[in-house]
Amino acid sequence: MNVFETVNGRLFMDGVDLAELAAEFGTPLYVMSRSVIDDRIAELKRDFTERYPNARAAYASKAFLCTALCHIVDEAGLSLDVVSGGELFTSIRAKFPAERIEFHGNNKTRAELELAVGYGVGRIIVDAPGELDLIEDVVGSKYGHEQKSGDSLCAPSNDVAYRPRVLFRVNPDVESDTHDHISTGHGNSKFGFSYDSAELFDLIGRAIRSNIVDFEGIHFHVGSQLFTNDSRLAALRRALGILKEVKIRYGYDTPELNIGGGFAIRYTSDDDPRPFGFYLEPVMREVEEYCAAEGLKPPAVVVEPGRSIVGEAGVTLYTVGAIRETRADERKGNGSLRAPDASAQSARKFVAVDGGMTDNIRPALYGAKYEAVVANRADKPATEVVTVVGKCCESGDRLIEGARLQTVAPGDILAVYSTGAYGYSMASNYNKLPLPAVALVENGKARLIVRRQSYEDMLSRDLPL
C-alpha cells in the first residue's frame, strides 16, 4: 500500500500533511501509518494464518511496542512476542490476552519469570541451560496464585493448575546473508541450544515428563532483514529432524514449530523485499512433505514478524538546522594543512537535524541505509547529495551518507522513510536528548500514541545527594 502522495509540493502520508504534523507535534517525531500496519497484517493473514490449518503469527514487539500497538495487534487476533519484563509489563498494562503472549529472552531473570507466570502467559521459550529449572521452581512455588509483589497488574490466578507451555529455542548452525549483528542462527550465536546436543534432548524429555510445565515445541530464528529463504529452509530441515528424534525417543508428537521472523522490508530503492507467501509457501510445503514421509503429526507452524509489519509503516520527521560544507583540503590529523591527494576526503555538505543516533541508532550500529525527502518541498528535483547528520556529540552520528535531496535550507522538514522498526524501540537519552513523540496517522487524521519526553521526565528518577 502506497500511502505517500505529494500535494502542492508537500508530502502527505495517509492523508496527513507531514510538514503540518511536524509543526503541530514538534520534531523529531515518529509517524506511524495505521493503514500500512493493517495492510501488512491482512497480507499475513491471507497468505498464512487463514490459508493453512493450525498456522499462527506472533508480532515481535521488539520492533516497536507501545500500548496502542498492543491494541492493534490484539484487534487483529495475532499473538505477541515479548523478550523482557518491560515488554511484558507493557502488554499487561494494555490488557493483552495472556494466553496469546510468548515470552522469549536468552537471560530471563527470576523476577521476569514471576511476572510472566503471575500473568499466565501462554508460552515461555526456554533459551538457556538452567532456565527450565528456574521456570519449574517459579511455577512450583505457586507464584502467581497469591499476591506477592503488591502489583495490582499481577492479579492472583484462581487456576491452580496453570502450566506454562514451553518451547526450546535451538541454534540450527546456519549462516544467513545479513549483517553479523542481526544474524542469530550461526554456530557462535548467543541464542538457543545446539540442534543436535544431548542436553537439548534431555531437557525435552524432562519437559515431557514434567508435572509443572507442558512441552509445546521447538523454536528457531536465523536472522533479520532476510531477502532469501535459504537459511530459513536449512534451519527448518534441522528442526524437523528434531521433531523426528523426539518421536523416536519419547513417542511424542511435537505440537508446535516456531520458525521466527526476519522477513525483509524496503529501506532504499535498491532493496527488493518479497511478499510473505514467497517465504512461507516453501516452508509449509516442506513441513507437510516431511511429516507425511516420516509418519509425524504435522505441528502447528508459528511465525514472528516484527519489522515486516511496522518497518515501512513509519517515517521520522526532523527539522533541519545547521548546514555546513567542507573542503577536500581541510586540516587533517596533526593539524597541518595538506593539499588534496588520493587519500584526502572529498568535500561534503553536512545537513544537521534535531535528532540523530538517539532516535535511530541503526546507521551508527551497523551501517543501515535509509532514504529521505524534504517534506515541505517534495515535488522539487533531488539535485543535492548530502550527508544527513544528527546533533549528538559523536562523529559517527550520521543518519544518511550520500542522501539525494531537494535543495535544503534551515527550517525545512526532513522525512526519513522506513523507520517504523527499531527507531523508537532502540532510542536513548544520550546527551540528555528527550525521546521523541509517536503519532499515528490514518485517513487524514493524526493523534499521539506516545507523548514526547520532557526534561522533567528525564530527571524524574534522579535523587539528590
How far apart (Å, rounded) are the C-alpha atoms in residues 104 and 167?
A: 10
**121 is written with which cell numbers?**
502467559
Chain mean position to CA 418: 13
For strand 55-60 and strand 300-303, is the pairing parallel, antiparallel, or unpaired?
Answer: parallel
Site of grid cell 516456531:
258
* Active-site residue, selected from the candidate residues 66, 70, 392, 393: 393
What is the rounded CA–CA span in Å between residue 242 and residue 260? Answer: 16
Q: Kindly report the length of the chain.
A: 465
Q: ω before 282 within 30° of 0 (cis)?
A: no
Q: Which of 440, 439, 434 is nearest to 453 (CA)?
A: 434
- Whether the CB-CB separation of 388 and 353 falls below 8 Å is answered with yes
**DSSP character string of 263-325:** B---SSTT-----HHHHHHHHHHHHHHHHHHHTPPPPEEEE--SHHHHGGGEEEEEEEEEEEE
Burial readout 250-281 (b: 16 or more C-beta within 10 A, e: otherwise): bebebbbbbbbbbbbbebeeeeebeebeebbb
CA 400 vs CA 51, 345, 376, 387: distances in Å: 40, 17, 19, 6
CA distance 387 to 348: 7
Per-residue cell: 382: 533531488
Q: Which of 89, 254, 97 is nearest to 168 (CA)?
A: 254
DSSP letters spanning 367-390: -----EEEGGGTTS---EEEEEE-
Q: Cα–Cα distance between 450 and 200 in angstroms, integer? A: 42
Unique residue bearing C-alpha cell 531477502: 227
Query: Among 251, 223, 222, 262, which residue's Cα sits nearest to residue 238?
Result: 222
Active site residue 66: no
CB 423 within 8 A of CB 360: yes
Helical packing angle, 230-250 and 198-209, nearest 10° = 60
Q: Indicate which residues carry an active-site annotation.
A: 393
